[in-house]
C-alpha cells in the first residue's frame, strides 16, 4: 500500500515510517507546518520547528522516501489554537494535542492523504490497533509508561481503518534500539514535552500575548465565600492546582472551581475536590455506538489511572470519588487495555 | 523524470564545467596577486569579464562579478541608496524578495521607499512608477521578467519615464530570468542590471551586477576593494569563467531555444485547455513560462502527485521549511490566497524538446484525473 507517514522529526515517527517501509509499503513522509506565531516567529518547540522539520527531512532522505512539508497553519489556528485560548478564558484546562488529533491529524490529514493517493496514515503514537471479526479495536500501547491511547479516543471505525501505529507494538527502548540499528539521526533525540505552539514551556506567557483578556485578576475565595486572596487571571489556574496561589492558611488549599463570569477562583481542602460525576460531551465510540454494558474504566488525565465508572448518556458516574478533575480535559473510556471511546469533560459534581 | 522547473535552476550547458575546471585545479591563483599563478587567474577573469560585457553591450569595467542574483540585487538597491546618503527607492510589489526585502530594510533605516502595484497580469504602469519618483529617489528597480509568472515588464518605457522625472535616478532591472530574451543594457536603458549564472546554464554562486559608468554605488561588502571597490572578496574565477562560457553557449542557442520551448509550451497548454488557465497571456510573458491556474485543485496536492509521476514543477515561493505559501506576486496581481494556492508554475528550458509538452500534459491530466 501507499502510506503517508506523519513525521514530526522525533524518534517515534521516524521508526514508524521505517517500519512501514520494512513491511514493504511505499512510504511518503510529511511534516505538518502547524504554526507560525502571530508575528510569524518560528516556534521553539514541538513538531513544527524548523530544526524538527529538518530532522524529519533528513530521516526521510536516509530512508530514501519522498518528503514534503504541508502547510496546516490555518486549520491548526482555527481548530486548535483558538479553542485552546477560548477554553482557558472560560476556566477550562484544554488538551490541545487531543484537539489537534481530532481536527487536524485524524480528520484533515486523513482526507489529504487520500488526495495524495495514499491508503493509510501512519503516526508515531504508542497505541495498538487490531482488526477482529471485521471490527477495528484500539488498544493501549505495549509500553504502559508511554501509552498514548488516552489521546486517541476520538478514533472510530472509519478512521481506524485508515491509520496505523507501528511503534505501539514496541517499548520506547525497542523503538530507540530500532532507530539506532537503522542509524537514524533521531535515535537518541530527547522527547519533546512542550505544547508545540506555546514555546519556552509556559502557556501562561502565551495566553498573555495572544489573549490579554484572559489576564483579568480577581478574587480567590474559600468554599464559604470568604475572600482569601487575589489571582492574576482565571487562565493562570487549573482545578486541582495547589502551588503558586499565594494563599497561606496553614493547611494545603487546592483550586476546586473556576468561575470565569465573575473571574472568581474557589479554593478548598482536598476533600472539596472530590467528584463522583463527570459531564462528558462530544462523546465518540470506537465501535460507532456505545457498548451494551456501560461499566467502563475512566481515565481523566494523560498520565492518570483509569477508575471504574458507569456511562449513562453524557453523565459518567464514578465508583469512587476522584480528585482534581479539570473541565476541558478528556475522559477516555477503557475496558482493560481496550479503548471504547471518550469525550470532553465539561463539568463535574 | 521530466524537469519543468527551469526557472528555479537549469542544468549546466555542455562545456561549462570543463571550462571552469582548470581554475579550480592547476590555475587556482588569487587574481589579486602579482606572481605568475595569480596572473593566469587574473587573465581568465578579465577575459570572462570582456565576454560578459559583450553580451550585455557594455564596457568590461561596468561588469561587477559577485556571489549571485540575490547579492547583485542587494547591491543594486542598497548601493545607490547609501551612496546618496539617505536616497529613496521606488520598486514594484511583484519583485523578487532580494529587491523587496532590500527596499524594506532601507525603509526601516529611514529611506523613503515606494512600492508600486501591478495590474491583473502583473504589469506595472511606467507612468505610475515615474509619478512615484522624486528628487530624493536614488534608484528605481523594475524586474525584466517575473520569476513566478514570467510577466515581462516594460523596462525601457519605465527607464525613459523615470529619467524624464529625475535624470539623476538610477534605473535597475533584475534580469535574472530574462537572459534568453536578451539583455542589452542600452536597449533596456538601464543603469544597473542583475544576472545569475545558474539560470542560463552556468554554475551556482556567481552573478553579475552591471553598473553603468558614472553611477555611484556604496558597496554592500566592504573589504579588500576587489572589483574596483564595488564588491570586496576574492573573486570566484572559476565561477566567472563558467558564467561567461554559459552565456556564450546560451546566446548562440537563443533561436533554437525559443522555437523548441514555445512549441513544447504550446502543445502542453493546448492539451490542458478546459483544465487549466494561463494567469498571464502568452504575449506578456517569457516564452518558457507556463504559469497555470487549476481551479478547484490545491497546488501542493497537485505538485506531490506530479512528483510521484516524475514531473518536477513549482508553486509560489518555498519558505524555509519547504511548505508552499500563497505567493506575494499573485496576491499583488489581485488573487485571493485560496486562488493563489491553485496556481502552478511549469518552466521549460534548454533541455526541453517539443514533444516534452505532450508528455507533460499527459502526466498532468493523469494526476488531475486521480483527483476526482
Q: Across A80-89, A92-101, B110-119, B314-323, which has the greatest mean pLDDT?
A: B110-119
Q: Which one of A112, A115, A116, A119 would you mutate to disrupt binding with B, by most B Cβ within 10 Å of its Cβ?
A: A115
Instruction: Show the domain range for A225.
Output: 216-272
Examine residue A210 and state whether it is found in any structural domain, yes or no: no
Q: Which one of A36, A60, A71 would you mutate to disrupt binding with B, by most B Cβ within 10 Å of its Cβ?
A: A71
CATH no. for residue B302? 3.90.1150.10
pLDDT of residue A46: 46
If pLDDT is split at 50, 70 and 90, which confidence band does A191 have? confident
Q: Which residue has the higher pLDDT, B372 or A276?
A: A276
Nearest partner of B17 among B243, B350, B234, judged by Cα: B243
Is A54 in the same domain as A175?
A: yes
Is A169 in the same domain as A29?
A: yes
**The length of chain B, given as a count of residues:** 372
Q: Which of B215, B231, B251 is the last residue of a domain?
A: B251
Nearest partner of A123 among A37, A243, A7, judged by Cα: A7
ipTM: 0.84
- Whether the pLDDT of residue B372 is over 50: the answer is no
> Structure pTM?
0.88
User: What is residue B224's DSSP assignment?
Assistant: S
Tell me the C-alpha to C-alpha distance, in Å, between residue B218 and each of B213, B215, B266. Answer: 14, 10, 45
Is A172 in the same domain as A64?
A: yes
Is B235 in the same domain as B287?
A: no
The C-alpha atoms of residue B211 and residue B220 are separated, in whole angstroms, by 14
Total beta-carbon pairs less than 8 A apart between chain A and chain B: 36
Is B246 in the same domain as B314?
A: no
Q: Identify the H or E element spanning B329.
A: helix B328-332
Note the pLDDT tens digit of each residue in B324-371: 667 899 999 999 988 999 999 999 999 999 999 999 999 999 999 865
* Residues β-bridged to residue B196: B207
Examine residue B118 and state whether it is found in any structural domain, yes or no: yes
Is A312 in the same domain as A177?
A: no
Terminal CA-CA length for chain B:
25
Q: Dihedral, CA atoms, B356, B358, B364, B366, nearest 10 degrees?
A: -120
Is B276 in the same domain as B352?
A: yes
- Whether the pLDDT of residue A121 is over 70: the answer is yes
Examine residue B276 and state whether it is found in any structural domain, yes or no: yes
Closest residue on chain A to B306 (Cα): A116
Is B343 part of the annotated catalytic residue set?
Answer: no
Is A317 in the same domain as A233?
A: no
Count of beta carbons in the 10 Å neighbourhood of residue A181: 11
- Whether the pLDDT of residue A182 is over 80: the answer is yes
Q: The sheet that has B277-278: what strands, in order across it?
A: B277-278, B289-293, B343-347
Subunit contact B305:A68, Cβ cutoff 8 A: no
Q: What is the mean pLDDT of chain B?
A: 95
Is A100 part of the annotated catalytic residue set?
Answer: yes
Cβ neighbors of B128 (< 8 A, separation 6 or more) are B116, B117
Q: What domain count does chain B have?
A: 2
Examine residue B164 and state whether it is found in any structural domain, yes or no: yes
CATH no. for residue A260? 2.30.30.280
On chain A, the residues whose CB falls within 8 A of the CB of B320 are 50
Is B246 in the same domain as B276?
A: no
Note the pLDDT tens digit of each residue in B267-303: 999 999 999 999 999 999 999 999 999 999 999 999 9
Q: Report CA torsion sign: B151, B155, B158, B162.
A: positive
Is A51 in the same domain as A104?
A: yes
Q: Which of B201, B225, B251 is the last residue of a domain?
A: B251
Q: Which three cell numbers stand for residue B9?
A: 535552476
Q: Which residue has the higher pLDDT, A209 or B141?
A: B141
Is A237 in the same domain as A109?
A: no
Is B95 in the same domain as B132?
A: yes
Examine residue A207 and state whether it is found in any structural domain, yes or no: no
Note the pLDDT tens digit of each residue in B228-267: 999 999 999 999 999 999 999 999 999 999 999 999 999 9
Q: Which of A272, A302, A336 is the last residue of a domain?
A: A272
Q: Which three cell numbers stand for residue B251?
A: 546566446
Instruction: Show the domain range for B103.
Output: 16-251
Is A266 in the same domain as A281?
A: no
Note the pLDDT tens digit of each residue in A169-180: 999 999 999 999
Cβ neighbors of A250 (< 8 A, separation 6 or more) are none
Examine residue B50 and state whether it is found in any structural domain, yes or no: yes
Q: Which of A253, A272, A291 is the last residue of a domain?
A: A272
Is B212 in the same domain as B345?
A: no
Q: What domain count does chain A have?
A: 3
Q: Which three cell numbers stand for residue A183?
A: 542509524
Subunit contact A112:B324, Cβ cutoff 8 A: no
pLDDT of residue A199: 65
Is B134 in the same domain as B244?
A: yes
Note the pLDDT tens digit of each residue in A249-302: 677 889 998 888 888 999 998 888 899 999 999 999 999 999 999 999 999 988
Examine residue B42 and state whether it is found in any structural domain, yes or no: yes
Single out the catalytic residue among A47, A48, A118, A196. A196
On chain A, the residues whose CB falls within 8 A of the CB of B304 are 28, 66, 68, 116
Is B217 in the same domain as B311?
A: no
> Phi/psi at B224 (nearest 5 deg)?
-70, -5
Is A234 in the same domain as A103?
A: no
Is A47 in the same domain as A172?
A: yes
CATH no. for residue B52? 3.40.640.10
CATH no. for residue A17? 3.40.50.620
Amino acid at each position: 500500500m501507499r502510506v503517508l507517514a506523519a513525521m514530526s522529526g522525533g524518534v517515534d515517527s521516524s521508526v514508524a515510517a521505517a517500519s512501514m517501509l520494512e513491511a514493504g509499503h511505499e512510504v511518503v513522509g510529511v511534516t505538518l507546518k502547524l504554526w507560525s506565531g502571530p508575528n510569524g516567529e518560528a516556534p521553539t518547540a514541538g513538531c513544527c520547528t524548523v530544526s524538527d522539520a529538518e530532522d524529519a527531512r533528513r530521516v526521510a532522505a536516509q530512508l530514501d522516501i519522498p518528503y514534503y512539508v504541508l502547510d496546516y497553519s490555518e486549520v491548526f489556528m482555527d481548530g486548535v489554537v483558538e479553542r485552546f485560548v477560548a477554553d482557558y478564558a472560560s476556566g477550562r484546562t484544554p488538551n490541545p494535542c487531543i484537539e489537534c488529533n481530532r481536527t487536524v491529524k485524524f480528520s484533515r490529514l486523513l482526507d489529504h492523504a487520500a488526495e495524495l493517493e495514499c491508503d493509510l496514515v501512519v503516526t508515531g503514537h504508542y497505541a495498538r490497533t487490531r482488526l477482529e471479526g471485521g471490527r477495528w479495536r484500539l488498544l493501549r500501547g505495549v509500553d504502559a509508561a508511554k501509552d498514548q491511547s488516552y489521546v486517541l479516543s476520538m478514533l472510530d471505525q472509519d478512521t481506524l481503518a485508515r491509520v496505523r501505529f507501528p511503534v505501539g507494538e514496541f517499548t520506547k527502548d525497542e523503538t530507540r534500539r530500532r532507530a539506532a540499528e537503522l542509524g537514524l539521526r533521531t535515535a537518541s533525540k530527547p522527547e519533546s514535552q512542550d505544547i508545540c505552539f506555546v514555546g519556552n514551556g509556559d502557556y501562561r506567557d502565551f495566553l498573555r500575548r495572544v489573549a490579554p483578556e484572559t489576564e483579568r485578576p480577581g478574587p480567590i475565595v474559600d468554599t464559604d465565600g470568604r475572600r482569601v486572596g487575589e489571582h492574576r487571571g482565571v487562565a493562570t489556574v487549573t482545578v486541582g492546582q495547589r502551588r503558586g496561589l499565594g494563599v497561606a492558611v496553614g493547611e494545603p488549599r487546592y483550586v476546586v472551581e473556576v468561575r470565569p463570569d465573575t473571574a472568581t477562583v474557589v479554593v478548598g481542602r482536598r476533600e472539596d475536590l472530590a467528584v463522583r460525576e463527570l459531564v462528558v460531551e462530544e462523546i465518540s465510540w470506537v465501535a460507532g455506538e456505545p457498548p451494551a454494558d456501560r461499566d467502563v474504566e475512566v481515565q481523566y488525565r494523560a498520565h492518570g489511572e483509569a477508575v471504574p465508572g458507569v456511562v449513562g448518556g453524557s453523565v459518567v458516574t464514578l465508583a469512587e470519588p476522584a480528585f482534581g478533575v479539570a473541565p476541558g480535559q478528556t475522559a477516555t473510556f477503557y475496558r482493560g487495555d481496550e479503548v471504547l471511546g471518550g469525550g470532553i469533560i465539561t463539568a463535574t459534581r | 523524470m521530466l524537469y519543468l522547473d527551469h526557472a528555479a535552476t537549469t542544468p549546466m550547458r555542455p562545456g561549462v564545467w570543463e571550462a571552469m575546471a582548470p581554475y579550480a585545479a592547476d590555475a587556482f591563483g588569487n587574481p589579486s596577486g602579482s606572481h605568475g599563478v595569480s596572473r593566469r587567474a587574473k587573465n581568465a577573469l578579465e577575459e570572462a569579464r570582456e565576454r560578459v560585457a559583450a553580451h550585455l553591450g557594455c564596457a568590461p569595467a561596468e561588469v561587477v562579478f559577485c556571489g549571485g542574483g540575490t547579492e547583485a540585487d542587494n547591491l543594486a538597491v542598497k548601493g545607490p541608496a547609501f551612496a546618496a546618503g539617505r536616497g529613496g527607492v521606488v520598486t514594484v510589489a511583484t519583485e523578487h524578495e532580494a529587491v523587496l526585502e532590500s527596499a524594506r530594510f532601507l525603509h526601516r533605516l529611514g529611506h523613503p521607499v515606494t512600492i508600486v502595484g501591478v495590474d491583473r497580469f502583473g504589469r506595472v504602469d511606467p507612468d505610475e512608477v515615474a509619478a512615484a519618483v522624486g528628487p530624493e529617489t536614488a534608484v528605481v528597480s523594475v524586474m525584466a521578467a517575473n520569476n513566478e509568472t514570467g510577466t515581462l515588464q516594460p523596462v525601457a518605457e519605465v527607464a525613459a519615464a523615470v529619467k524624464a522625472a529625475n535624470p539623476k535616478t538610477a534605473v535597475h532591472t533584475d534580469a535574472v530570468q530574462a537572459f534568453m530574451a536578451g539583455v542589452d543594457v542600452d536597449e533596456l536603458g538601464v543603469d544597473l542590471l542583475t544576472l545569475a549564472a545558474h539560470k542560463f546554464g552556468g554554475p551556482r554562486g556567481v552573478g553579475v551586477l552591471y553598473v553603468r559608468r558614472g553611477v555611484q554605488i556604496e558597496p554592500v561588502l566592504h573589504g579588500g576593494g576587489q572589483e574596483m571597490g564595488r564588491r570586496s572578496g576574492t573573486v570566484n574565477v572559476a565561477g566567472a569563467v563558467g558564467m561567461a562560457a554559459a552565456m556564450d553557449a546560451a546566446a548562440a542557442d537563443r533561436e533554437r531555444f525559443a522555437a523548441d520551448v514555445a512549441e513544447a509550451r504550446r502543445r502542453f497548454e493546448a492539451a490542458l485547455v478546459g483544465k487549466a488557465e494561463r494567469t498571464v497571456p502568452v504575449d506578456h510573458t517569457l516564452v518558457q513560462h507556463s504559469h497555470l491556474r487549476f481551479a478547484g485543485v490545491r497546488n501542493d496536492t497537485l505538485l506531490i502527485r506530479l512528483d510521484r509521476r516524475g514531473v518536477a514543477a513549482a508553486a509560489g515561493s518555498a519558505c524555509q521549511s519547504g511548505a508552499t505559501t500563497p505567493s506575494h506576486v499573485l496576491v499583488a496581481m489581485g488573487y485571493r490566497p485560496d486562488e493563489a494556492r491553485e496556481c502552478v508554475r511549469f518552466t521549460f528550458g534548454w533541455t526541453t524538446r517539443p514533444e516534452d509538452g505532450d508528455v507533460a500534459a499527459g502526466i498532468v491530466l493523469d494526476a488531475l484525473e486521480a483527483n476526482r
